[in-house]
């Protein structure tokens, strides 16, 4: 296998990887140059999008600032798969969070028992986040009863009245395409209690306005989120009603003060026939988007579980920016110290190893962007640390190289022997580090996982850089006899050049 | 570094030091015979002095274990649970002012105040608080002390804290077991087969545990014994310990690999002689590698953010310890094990 390392196909692959890495690393600059923008300052369209890849470093919350919350789900509805309930809860949270306008909110399920949800929101305070996610939205059904004092609003002459049917009575709402395959509808399935109430309601509605398919206010069942008795009492105020009747707005609700009036309306459906059996369909010229929105709206009115906050971390954006600056400084400092040390101690091989180290840094950064790996403070440390490890394989080879020269080999033969003999140690020692990384990555909490991932990527990249890149550079340098002078190779003058 | 280097084992058979029953008082210096001019080679008899090295390790580890057992650790917020505010007051108040304000607020009474740097930065810890209570605490602090920027608020419930500790122990056990088996598999082809493989694995494991106990012990002493905040234990510290585990084995494997190679090529030498030569041959590499990593870590320790300093220090101690144990503990232990349970 090691013979292959010096072949031209491998060299071409390495060059291709290097070019690709530099392109990815400098994607922002490539974009600026290609579009004739200045190289510094704000430019529209960054980060650039190359074939669906947003090539920029994804920063974790501790670097970007924001809020991280772990929720414990309790009170699972009986008789439903926990994984499904967890997924539905995630959708609900997603819907609620969307109103905050967070870029790339991360809402993930966790827990061995599907009983955890982790939420990462950049640029949001803990209070905002918790109010939005934990806001107790209650989905309620109303029918319409006559009230002559109501002159305006969605149904003039009528005001809503609670019918005792709430989000708790709904098992789920889903958007599907109807049997004809022509239009989008929303299916609602009720719990057994809900099914009974719904059956009675629709029967009364149809009886109130006899005739097939008649549209009269008494036949309407309307769904709201968080509609209160106080709202209904204010129904005679047309101004108030026009605000309440607006589409449901989580953003407004999460920021609401006692005096704001937020939209609470979801859908106003006409009962065409009595519906028994607990399966209802809402039709009405939906698009795929609007049907999905409505289904999510109905579902988000009913978190299927209770959310209990386990822990909250809120990081200010200034602290994050400072951490980035300090870590970058530490990384650059560390890298330059290592480069200087390697060149002084190992001369030409040290220089080549340093070049390989730069290749390694470029490649790892590109991997972080392409995968993408979300970088946290611990993750950056893993990366900086792997710079130190990247040198190790080189040191093993170079020390062995000195030994082989002392044992009487020519410099060219010694390079070859050194790489071959150092290989088992390099392989075994890096395997053990990788095993540690895998264990940390699987069982660790998120901060530790970030560290394990960057360190793991770093270890693999350092292997390639030391075995393939350095060795090839050495082999190329060997062809020039001027560079083969022992003093440049960091070995004794007494060694034979040949 | 020349002093630690060596020549190929086969050429050296005549230079081997006396058996360890009679350790020499000084390192033996010897000039190799020419076929061609050869540098002077000095050799340290590490195996012969193994008891000294074991004693040095125990001298650090035993107080550490004692401290862990009697005093425990200074726990960070993610282990202790509670609420932690990282704030920066614009009017640079004194520690006493902040402490008084914290004590005056019933929500934070009994909490702790830690100053971070001179620029008005403070860390305030209290029992777990709800978001509403947190907002109240922030309002009260602003009223009592002055305007401030809230840089970070961490709230950790008891469940998460317990899980983090469970994770730490689980990861350590898993990593140790995995490494033991990896070494047993990789070294089963030395004379002695699987039993030899487990001797290698077991010795590496012992060196690894040496580093774990040394590191945790020192942090217990620093955190509780000396009351330094840098000795705080949090999940980053756990990460550091596990990284050190990886590094320590890394170093040990390099030495063991050389022992394996030398066992093949030099049948004339005793096991102890082979081990000693192997240590000498790999010492330069071990020290240089650790040195470069230490340089990088020192850079983080000096230039990195406050949050990373404890982490960098833990790694620094661990890696130095890992290098020490791979040279002075793992291989001598292998020799001792061979004597107790001979395989050839």
Instruction: Retrieve residue A174's tokens.
Output: 């889903």
A196 in the same domain as A100: yes
| pLDDT given at position A131 | 73
A47 belongs to a structural domain: no
Contact state of A327 with B251 under an 8 Å Cβ cutoff: no
The answer on pLDDT for B28 being more than 60 is no
State the CATH number of the domain containing residue B101.
3.30.70.3400
Contact state of A316 with B150 under an 8 Å Cβ cutoff: yes
B290 in the same domain as B215: yes
What is the number of domains present in chain B? 2
A435 belongs to a structural domain: yes
B200 in the same domain as B95: no
d(CA A7, CA A3): 7
Instruction: Give the nearest partner residue to B175 out of A330, A436, A451, using CB atoms.
Output: A436
Contact state of B6 with A403 under an 8 Å Cβ cutoff: yes
Residues of A in contact with B134 (CB under 8 A): 126-127
A189 in the same domain as A76: yes
A183 in the same domain as A71: yes
Nearest CA to A400 among B44, B288, B337, B115? B288
Instruction: Give the nearest partner residue to A337 out of B131, B167, B295, using CB atoms.
Output: B295
The answer on pLDDT for B211 being more than 90 is yes
> Residue A344 contacts by C-beta under 8 Å, 6 or more apart in sequence?
A350
Contact state of B308 with A327 under an 8 Å Cβ cutoff: yes
The helix-helix angle for B306-324 and B271-303 (nearest 10°) equals 170
The answer on pLDDT for B219 being more than 90 is yes
For the beta carbon of residue A431, count every other beta carbon within 10 angstroms.
19
B192 in the same domain as B152: no
d(CA A307, CA A460): 40
> Residue B180 contacts by C-beta under 8 Å, 6 or more apart in sequence?
B198, B201, B202, B204, B205
Q: What is the mean pLDDT of residues B170-183?
A: 86
Asked if A115 has any chain B CB less than 8 Å from its own CB, the reply is no
| pLDDT given at position B47 | 85
Contact state of B257 with A425 under an 8 Å Cβ cutoff: yes
B140 in the same domain as B230: no
B26 belongs to a structural domain: no
Instruction: Retrieve residue B255's tokens.
Output: 């030495």
Check: CB of residue A373 under 8 Å from CB of residue A59: no
d(CA A125, CA B138): 13
| pLDDT given at position B304 | 65
For the beta carbon of residue A29, count every other beta carbon within 10 angstroms.
15
B22 belongs to a structural domain: no
A325 in the same domain as A309: no
Check: CB of residue A469 under 8 Å from CB of residue A14: yes
| pLDDT given at position B43 | 64
Task: Scan for tokens 């020490």, then name that residue.
Answer: B324
B214 in the same domain as B113: no
A384 belongs to a structural domain: yes
A29 belongs to a structural domain: no
B12 belongs to a structural domain: no
The answer on pLDDT for B2 being more than 80 is no
Residues of A in contact with B309 (CB under 8 A): none
Question: What confidence category does residue B229 fall into, taking pLDDT thresholds of 50, 70 and 90?
Answer: confident
Q: Which of B156, B188, B219 is the last residue of a domain?
A: B156
Q: Nearest residue of B to residue A393 by CA position?
A: B289
State the CATH number of the domain containing residue A388.
1.20.1640.10
B320 in the same domain as B239: yes
B57 belongs to a structural domain: yes
Contact state of A451 with B249 under an 8 Å Cβ cutoff: no
Asked if A443 has any chain B CB less than 8 Å from its own CB, the reply is yes
Check: CB of residue B111 under 8 Å from CB of residue B128: no
> What is the pLDDT tens value at each position of chain A, 498 positions in all?
566 677 888 889 889 999 999 888 888 888 888 888 887 777 777 777 776 677 778 888 878 888 888 888 888 877 778 888 888 888 878 877 776 667 778 888 888 788 899 888 888 888 778 777 876 667 788 888 888 887 777 778 888 888 888 777 877 778 888 877 778 888 888 888 888 888 888 888 888 877 666 677 888 888 887 788 888 888 888 888 888 888 776 666 655 566 677 788 878 877 777 777 778 888 777 777 777 777 777 766 667 787 888 888 888 777 777 777 877 787 788 888 888 988 998 888 899 999 998 898 899 989 998 888 888 877 887 887 787 777 888 888 888 888 888 888 888 788 888 888 888 888 888 888 888 888 888 877 777 788 888 989 998 998 888 888 888 888 888 777 666 677 777 766 554 444
The answer on pLDDT for B154 being more than 50 is yes
Residues of B in contact with A315 (CB under 8 A): 151-152
Residues of A in contact with B281 (CB under 8 A): 403
Q: Kindly report the nearest CA distance between residue B130 and chain A, in angstroms.
A: 9
| pLDDT given at position B16 | 45
Q: Nearest residue of B to residue A72 by CA position?
A: B159
A217 in the same domain as A90: yes
B299 belongs to a structural domain: yes
Q: Which of B103, B122, B156 is the last residue of a domain?
A: B156
Higher pLDDT pick, B317 / B343: B317
A122 belongs to a structural domain: yes
- Residue B109's domain spans which residues? 82-156
B88 in the same domain as B69: no
A263 in the same domain as A209: yes
What's the DSSP call for residue A247? Answer: B
Strand partners, B232: B74
Contacts A–B by Cβ distance under 8 A:
225
B67 in the same domain as B104: no
Residues of B in contact with A320 (CB under 8 A): none
A295 in the same domain as A282: yes
Contact state of B179 with A435 under an 8 Å Cβ cutoff: yes
Asked if A310 has any chain B CB less than 8 Å from its own CB, the reply is yes
Asked if A212 has any chain B CB less than 8 Å from its own CB, the reply is no
State the CATH number of the domain containing residue A298.
3.30.1360.200
Contact state of B295 with A431 under an 8 Å Cβ cutoff: no
Q: Nearest residue of A to residue B250 by CA position?
A: A429
Instruction: Give the nearest partner residue to B304 out of A326, A389, A406, using CB atoms.
Output: A326
Average pLDDT of chain B to the nearest whole number: 80
Instruction: Give the nearest partner residue to B238 out of A342, A429, A448, using CB atoms.
Output: A448
CA A323, A326, A328 angle in degrees (round to 5)?
Answer: 105
| pLDDT given at position A484 | 66
B122 in the same domain as B46: no
Higher pLDDT pick, B175 / B18: B175
Contact state of A494 with B186 under an 8 Å Cβ cutoff: no
- Residue A330's domain spans which residues? 4-22+316-489
A19, exposed or middle or buried, with CB in 10 Å at 0-12, 13-18, 19+? exposed
B185 belongs to a structural domain: yes
Phi and psi at A274, nearest 5°, equal -65, 135
A272-310, pLDDT tens digit by residue?
A: 777 777 788 887 777 777 777 777 777 666 677 878 888
Residues of A in contact with B239 (CB under 8 A): 378, 440, 444, 447-448, 451-452
Half-sphere exposure of B241 (CA within 13 A, CB side): 27
A391, exposed or middle or buried, with CB in 10 Å at 0-12, 13-18, 19+? buried
The answer on pLDDT for B3 being more than 70 is no
The answer on pLDDT for B249 being more than 50 is yes
A338 in the same domain as A309: no
B130-150, pLDDT tens digit by residue?
A: 777 888 888 888 888 888 888
The answer on pLDDT for B321 being more than 90 is yes
What is the number of domains present in chain A? 2
Residues of A in contact with B247 (CB under 8 A): 433
Q: Kindly report the nearest CA distance between residue A229 and chain B, in angstroms.
A: 26
Q: Which of A264, A286, A315 is the last residue of a domain?
A: A315
Task: Scan for tokens 């063991």, then name that residue.
Answer: B256
Residues of A in contact with B251 (CB under 8 A): 429
B141 in the same domain as B46: no
Q: What is the mean pLDDT of residues B36-42?
A: 41
Residues of A in contact with B149 (CB under 8 A): 316, 318
Q: Which of A266, A283, A315 is the last residue of a domain?
A: A315
Higher pLDDT pick, B252 / A451: B252
Check: CB of residue B321 under 8 Å from CB of residue B244: yes
Q: Kindly report the nearest CA distance between residue B245 and chain A, in angstroms.
A: 8
The answer on pLDDT for B34 being more than 50 is no
B133 belongs to a structural domain: yes
A71 in the same domain as A100: yes
A328 belongs to a structural domain: yes
What's the DSSP call for residue B3? Answer: G
Residues of A in contact with B155 (CB under 8 A): 126, 309, 311-313
Instruction: Retrieve residue B232's tokens.
Output: 């705080």
Q: Which of A270, A295, A315 is the last residue of a domain?
A: A315
pLDDT more than 90, % of chain B: 20
| pLDDT given at position B117 | 66
B305 in the same domain as B223: yes
Q: What is the mean pLDDT of residues B237-251?
A: 82
A249 in the same domain as A174: yes
A222 belongs to a structural domain: yes
Sequence-ordered alpha helix ranges (H) in A267-316: 288-300
Instruction: Retrieve residue A301's tokens.
Output: 């009115």
Nearest CA to B191 among B265, B86, B82? B265
Phi and psi at A53, nearest 5°, equal -100, 125
A60 belongs to a structural domain: no
A356 in the same domain as A328: yes
Phi and psi at A130, nearest 5°, equal -70, -35
Element (H, E) at B253: helix B235-265
Residues of A in contact with B178 (CB under 8 A): 435-436, 439
Contact state of B254 with A425 under an 8 Å Cβ cutoff: yes
Q: Is the dihedral of CA A392, A395, A401, A406 positive or negative?
A: negative
Going from the C-alpha of B218 to that of each of A43, B225, B248, B314, the distances in angstroms are: 51, 9, 17, 9
A273 in the same domain as A127: yes
B34 belongs to a structural domain: no
B115 in the same domain as B226: no
State the CATH number of the domain containing residue B323.
1.20.1640.10
Going from the C-alpha of A108 to that of each of A91, A100, A114, the distances in angstroms are: 10, 18, 11
């Amino acid at each position: 296998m090691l013979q292959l390392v010096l072949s031209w196909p491998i060299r071409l692959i390495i060059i291709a990887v290097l070019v690709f890495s530099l392109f990815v690393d400098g994607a922002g600059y490539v974009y600026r140059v290609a579009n004739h923008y200045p190289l510094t300052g704000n430019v529209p369209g960054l980060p650039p999008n190359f074939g669906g890849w947003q090539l920029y470093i994804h920063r974790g919350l501790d670097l970007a600032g924001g809020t991280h919350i772990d929720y414990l789900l309790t009170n699972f509805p009986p008789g439903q798969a926990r994984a499904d309930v967890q997924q539905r809860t995630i959708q609900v949270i997603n819907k609620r969070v969307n109103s905050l306008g967070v870029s790339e909110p991360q809402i993930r399920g966790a827990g061995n028992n599907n009983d955890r949800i982790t939420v990462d929101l950049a640029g949001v305070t803990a209070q905002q986040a918790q109010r939005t996610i934990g806001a107790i939205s209650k989905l309620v059904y109303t029918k319409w009863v006559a009230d002559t004092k109501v002159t305006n609003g969605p149904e003039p002459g009528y005001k809503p009245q609670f019918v005792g049917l709430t989000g708790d009575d709904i098992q789920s709402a889903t958007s599907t395409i109807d049997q004809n395959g022509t239009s989008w509808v929303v299916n609602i399935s009720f719990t057994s209690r809900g099914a009974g109430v719904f059956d009675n309601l629709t029967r009364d509605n149809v009886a109130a306005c006899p005739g097939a398919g008649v549209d009269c206010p008494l036949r309407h069942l309307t769904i709201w989120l968080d509609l209160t008795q106080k709202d209904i009492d204010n129904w005679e105020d047309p101004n108030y009603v026009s605000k309440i009747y607006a589409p449901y707005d989580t953003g407004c609700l999460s920021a609401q003060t006692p005096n704001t009036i937020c939209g609470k309306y979801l859908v106003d459906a006409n009962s065409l026939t009595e519906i028994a059996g607990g399966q209802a369909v809402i039709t009405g010229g939906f698009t795929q988007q609007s049907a999905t929105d409505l289904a999510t709206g109905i579902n988000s009115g009913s978190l299927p579980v209770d959310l209990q906050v386990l822990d909250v971390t809120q990081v200010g954006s200034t602290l994050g920016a400072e951490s980035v600056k300090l870590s970058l400084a530490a990384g650059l400092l560390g890298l330059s110290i290592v480069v200087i040390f390697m060149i002084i101690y190992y001369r030409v091989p040290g220089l080549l190893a340093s070049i390989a180290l730069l290749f390694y840094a470029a490649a790892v950064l590109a991997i972080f962007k392409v995968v993408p790996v979300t970088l946290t403070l611990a993750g950056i440390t893993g990366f900086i640390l792997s710079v130190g490890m990247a040198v190790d394989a080189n040191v093993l080879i170079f020390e062995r190289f000195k030994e082989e020269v002392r044992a009487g080999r020519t410099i060219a033969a010694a390079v070859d022997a050194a790489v071959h003999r150092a290989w088992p140690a390099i392989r075994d020692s890096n395997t053990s580090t990788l095993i540690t990384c895998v264990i940390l990555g699987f069982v660790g909490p998120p901060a530790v996982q970030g560290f394990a991932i960057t360190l793991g990527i770093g270890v693999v990249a350092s292997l390639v850089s030391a075995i393939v890149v350095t060795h090839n550079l050495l082999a190329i340098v060997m062809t020039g006899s001027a560079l083969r002078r022992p003093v440049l190779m960091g070995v004794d003058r007494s060694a034979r050049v040949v | 570094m020349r002093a630690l280097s060596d020549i190929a084992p086969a050429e050296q058979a005549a230079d081997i030091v006396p058996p360890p029953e009679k350790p020499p008082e000084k390192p033996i210096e010897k000039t190799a015979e020419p076929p061609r001019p050869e540098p002077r080679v000095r050799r340290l008899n590490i195996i012969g002095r193994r008891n000294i090295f074991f004693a040095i390790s125990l001298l650090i580890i035993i107080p550490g274990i004692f401290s862990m057992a009697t005093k425990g650790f200074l726990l960070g917020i993610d282990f202790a649970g509670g609420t932690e505010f990282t704030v920066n007051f614009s009017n640079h108040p004194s520690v006493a002012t902040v402490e008084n304000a914290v004590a005056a607020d019933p929500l934070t009474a009994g909490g702790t105040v830690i100053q971070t740097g001179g620029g008005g930065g403070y860390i305030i810890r209290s029992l777990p608080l709800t978001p509403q209570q947190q907002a109240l605490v922030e309002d009260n602090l602003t009223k009592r002390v002055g305007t401030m920027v809230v840089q970070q608020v961490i709230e950790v419930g008891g469940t998460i804290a317990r899980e983090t500790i469970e994770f730490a122990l689980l990861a350590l056990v898993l990593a140790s077991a995995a490494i033991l088996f990896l070494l047993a598999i990789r070294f089963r082809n030395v004379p002695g087969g699987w039993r030899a493989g487990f001797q290698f694995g077991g010795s590496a494991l012992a060196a690894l545990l040496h580093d774990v106990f040394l590191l945790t012990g020192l942090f217990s002493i620093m955190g509780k014994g000396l009351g330094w905040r840098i000795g705080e234990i949090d999940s980053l510290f756990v990460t550091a310990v596990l990284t050190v585990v990886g590094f320590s084995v890394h170093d040990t494997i390099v030495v063991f690999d050389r022992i394996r190679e030398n066992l093949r090529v030099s049948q004339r030498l005793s096991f102890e002689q082979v081990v000693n030569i192997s240590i000498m041959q790999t010492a330069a590499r071990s020290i240089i590698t650790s040195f470069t990593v230490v340089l990088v870590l020192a850079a983080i320790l000096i230039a990195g953010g406050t949050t990373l300093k404890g982490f960098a220090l833990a790694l620094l101690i661990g890696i130095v310890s890992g290098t020490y144990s791979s040279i002075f503990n793992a291989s001598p232990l292998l020799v001792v094990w061979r004597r107790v349970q001979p395989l050839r």
